[in-house]
Structure 1
Amino acid sequence: MAVGTVICASLWEEFTSCGQDQVKSDPNNKEDSEDILELKAKGAIVFVVAASLLLIILYFFMSSRFVWILIVLFCIGGTEGMHFVIASLTTRFFPATGQMTVNLPCLGEVLVLSLFILPLCFAFAIYWAATQGSPYAWIGQDILGICLMITVLQLAQLPNIKVAAALLGTAFFYDIFWVFLSPLIFHESVMIAVARGSGSGPSIPMVLRLPKLFDPWDGYDMIGFGDILFPGLLVCFSFRYDKLTKKSIRDGYFLWLSIGYAFGLSATYLALFLMNGHGQPALLYLVPSTLGLIIILSAKRGELKDLWNFGDGRSSTRTGEA
């Protein structure tokens, strides 16, 4: 699921915008879309501080009430993600639906399509939240999570691998510290303790879950959103770079980074097996298999400098920074 999510997010704009250049309100039309958030190197520092504070808060104040706050936030994000995905696909196959609008008080011009889709997406999220204890709740959680991550990967973009190195490098050490080194301070792995939850009540929803086959304890294989989003940003960048520089699939970077990401995930689960299920920092394997791969491959091709500084000096009135 993780590999499919990353590949789907990379190809999303290419697929959903096909043949819709003339559609006024196409969700993927760059003239009408929300501002793209272009990440900057300083965002890596903000990430590690904010993520560490959140992790510590979760560790010390983990409770059913606090988890429900996260569930509400997840439902809001998942609803918006589902709306984005369904609206994009609908306007792709039925372009006329992207042109029908209505003026509403306080809201202004709104797509008629959104008036139908948003309530359905919201109802889906509420139903999932109310039935988390069911054996099939993981399906709804994964649908909401995948839609949310596809949306995030459309709105947030890496400009070059210089920023990617700062962000993924920071996330790499963050993951290692909170899994392997935090026991030296807190006497247990903070990351594993938070992921495990309180043992009763609802669990933190920011993961994709898949039931383990032939498991007598009905356990789940899980992967956190960060282990998809951080490498996913780089894989999406590689696709945009290949497209802008008109590279073939073989001579580009997208194919190799997709394979590298799949290899890194396989290495993660192999390490879990060899360590008898002891939690592993997935980015320990995913960062070298994606960021390390693109650096080595581009250096061999003599394109490292271009990738490192790609996009520097460009100005865009619609692109934000973080």
Structure 2
Amino acid sequence: MERSALLVVWVFIAVLTTQINCQEGVLHISNGSITQEFCIVYNNSWTPLPQTLNDAVQYPLVNMTSTILCDPSGVSPEVVEGKALVVMRGDCAFSQKAQVAQNLGAAVLLIASNNTLVVPSADDSEYAKVQIPVTLMRYRDFLEAQQVFDDGMQARLYAPKPSKLDSSIFVMLLISVITVALGGYWSGACEREHLNSGFCSRDSPNSGPGQISAEDKADSEDSFLTSPLKVLIFVALMCSVLVLMYYFYNILVYFFIAMFSFASASALFSCCDAVLEKLGCPSGSFTIRNTNLSVRGILLAAVCISISVVWVVYRNEDRWIWMLHNLLSIVFCLHFIKNFPLPNFKICVILLSLLLIYDIFFVFITPFFTKNGVSLMMQVVLGPDASGERTQGNMVNVPAEPQTTTEKIPIAMRVPRFSAWAQNVCQMQFAILGFGDLIVPGLLVAYCSRFDVWINSKKKVYFLSSWIAYLLGMITTIAVMLLSDMAQPALLYLVPFTLITSAAVAGCRGEIRHFWAGTCYEVLDSSREPLLPDARTDCPVETEQR
């Protein structure tokens, strides 16, 4: 049941690394002695805002919130000429208000809104007609400013450009490389323990030391992707589910939230139990009705379930829940990499290559077919209403506050952009890393780790080389993203780096045939001692001279 839940969750994993950039700015109000700043939302398609306060022009602020400014009636040009004009939102389009304000001689148009803030937009033909900044602000913020400053308010508008090289990038890099390393190492350690003593997650009471029972072998072969046909079916299923999520997001999102909460609780239990077992923590077992129960297991299960429930309840609290969400995401990826081994390098090549094509298609090709020009994958990752007004490519403009509490599919880690967090008066901005960018190459790293066990490589040459290739691939992804100022599908770089490196190592060592087929063998006349005992017959054993 646990494996089935994990597999279902991974079917809808979107493989994507992206950053969210916001068209948000700051309204700086002062009266000579007191200053205060408020959040505004603007659209770069109209006149852009300066990036620093020193570059911003100061304008007298005129309160015209008694009108919605759909026409110039009742407004004297002498009152608003060369000033920042504040009017109410409603009844007509933003572009209409902007043209009326511009014709009256206003230098800036501030639209006060009682509703949630959205990026002020218009038809493409309307943007060229307006040469003044058009922004939205909260009406309650304007009322607060009136109470603080009364009359004589001076306004300056600017939009600080977030630093590209934010520390959140390094946090994401650290999380990804450590998770993949731990997942791969755990898979290899489990394989070694499984072969030597028969005790691991796939152990069987009928298997002795150094042996794998028929039931156990069948379970390991049939539980996941063991043939090219199964890989093709699996990738086709992923494509189908992603399309279904695009059209039926509001219905299916709750199903995947429930599945993730169950799978992450199970993964957290497995990871914590393995750590406690390694530390020698006693289990304190007892028996009820011929059923042997563990005190440690019961307490640990209660804690893990409680943590998962807390996430479910507070999953939309951006200010702190991202830490708990990332913890559950890390253990989920770890558990998946460890529990779903790929049988050989051939399957690794087919799976990773197909997922690379899948990633490129749903990130770069689908924007040509969607109504709003946003990739289908981006739409699923962020939700249909979570990103507000979107612009070209994979760059996303997020409103200062969501129109509603939008549910998001838990398929990506989220780390706040700390530089923007410190200075932003609007909303937290997040860097996002999809689970697939860890799990997909992590499965290859795990296979390399198990192959090191099969050939008794004490230096873990395959594991270390594939992990280093993953690190270099992530660094390349980040570098391209920063240089192009555009989101990148990480698998575009991770798949070639890891596959080519692993194949090159196997070729240089003369083990490419065994690495490709996933066979075990003993090496004679070598410093490596044979791992497999004579009684082991389930894996082909060949003799080589080194």
Q: The TM-score by the shorter chain falls in which range?
A: 0.7 to 0.9
Residues 141 and 160 of structure 1: is their aligned pair in 2 closer, same or farther, counting only changes over 3 Å?
Answer: same
Q: Which residue of 2 aligns with 1:130?
A: 313
Q: Contact between 1:157 and 1:237, CA under 8 Å: does it hold in 2?
A: yes
Equivalent residue for 2:331? 147
Q: Distance in 1 between matches of 2:458 and 2:380?
A: 43
CA contact (8 A) 2:437 2:490 kept: yes
Quickly say closer, same or farther: Cα 1:20–1:169, change in 2 above 3 A.
Answer: closer
Question: Does 2:374 match 1:188?
Answer: yes
SS at match of 2:519: coil
**CA separation in 1, counterparts of 2:375 and 2:225?**
30
Q: CA 1:109/1:243 → structure 2, altered by over 3 Å: closer, same or farther?
A: same
Gaps of 5+ in 1: 317-322
Structure with max Cα Rg = 2
* Larger CA deviation: 80-89 vs 267-276: 267-276
How many residues align structurally?
A: 309
Match of 1:48 among 213, 230, 235: 235
Partner residue of 2:245 out of 58, 70, 73: 58
Contact 1:102 1:112 in 2 (8 A): no
Aligned counterpart, 2:484? 275
What is the TM-score normalised by the length of structure 2? 0.52
In structure 2, the gaps of 5 or more residues are: 1-174, 208-215, 387-403, 522-536, 540-546
* Percent pairwise identity: 25
Q: CA deviation at 1:158?
A: 1.3
> Structure 2 CA distance, aligned partners of 1:262 and 1:211?
22
Q: Secondary structure at the match of 1:30?
A: coil
Q: Name the aligned partner's letter for residue 202 of structure 1.
A: E
- Judged with a 3 Å threshold, the aligned counterparts in structure 2 of structure 1 residues 125 and 303 are, in CA distance, closer, same or farther, namely same
Q: Provide closer, same or farther for how the CA distance between residues 230 and 154 of structure 1 changes in structure 2, counting only shifts above 3 A.
A: same
Match of 1:234 in 2: 444
2:268 paired with 1:120: no
The aligned counterpart of 1:4 is 178
Q: Distance in 1 between matches of 2:456 and 2:520?
A: 19
Please state how far the C-alpha of 1:30 moved relative to its aligned partner. Answer: 2.8
**Deviation of residue 213 (structure 1)?**
2.5
Q: Give the SS at the match of 2:346.
A: helix
Judging changes above 3 Å, is the alpha-carbon distance between structure 1 residues 71 and 142 closer, same or farther for their aligned structure 2 residues? same
> How has the CA–CA distance of structure 1 residues 202 and 48 changed in structure 2, closer, same or farther, with 3 Å as cutoff?
same
Which residue in the other structure is 2:285 paired with?
Answer: 100
What are the within-5 Å matches in structure 2 for residues 1-322 of structure 1?
A: 1-12=175-186, 28=201, 30-31=203-204, 35-36=219-220, 37-40=223-226, 41-63=228-250, 65-94=251-280, 96-97=282-283, 100-103=285-288, 108-132=291-315, 133-186=317-370, 187-198=373-384, 199=386, 200=404, 201-215=406-420, 216=424, 218-249=428-459, 252-276=461-485, 278-311=486-519, 315=538
Larger RCO (alpha carbons 8 Å, 6+ apart): 1
- CA distance in 1 between partners of 2:481 and 2:381 (Å): 15
Could you say what secondary structure the match of 1:214 adopts?
helix
Contact 2:455 2:520 in 1 (8 A): no
C-alpha distance in 2 between matches for 1:302 and 1:23: 30
Contact 2:187 2:339 in 1 (8 A): no
Q: Which amino acid aligns with 2:307?
A: F
**Higher share of residues assigned helix:** 1
Coordinate RMSD, CA, aligned: 3.1
The 8 Å contact of residues 211 and 220 in structure 1, kept in 2 or not, is answered as yes
Deviates more, 1:241-250 or 1:80-89: 241-250
The answer to whether the Cα contact below 8 Å between 1:17 and 1:28 also exists between their aligned partners in 2 is no
**Which structure features the higher share of strand residues?**
2
Is contact 1:58-1:194 (8 Å) kept?
A: yes
Aligned to 1:320: none
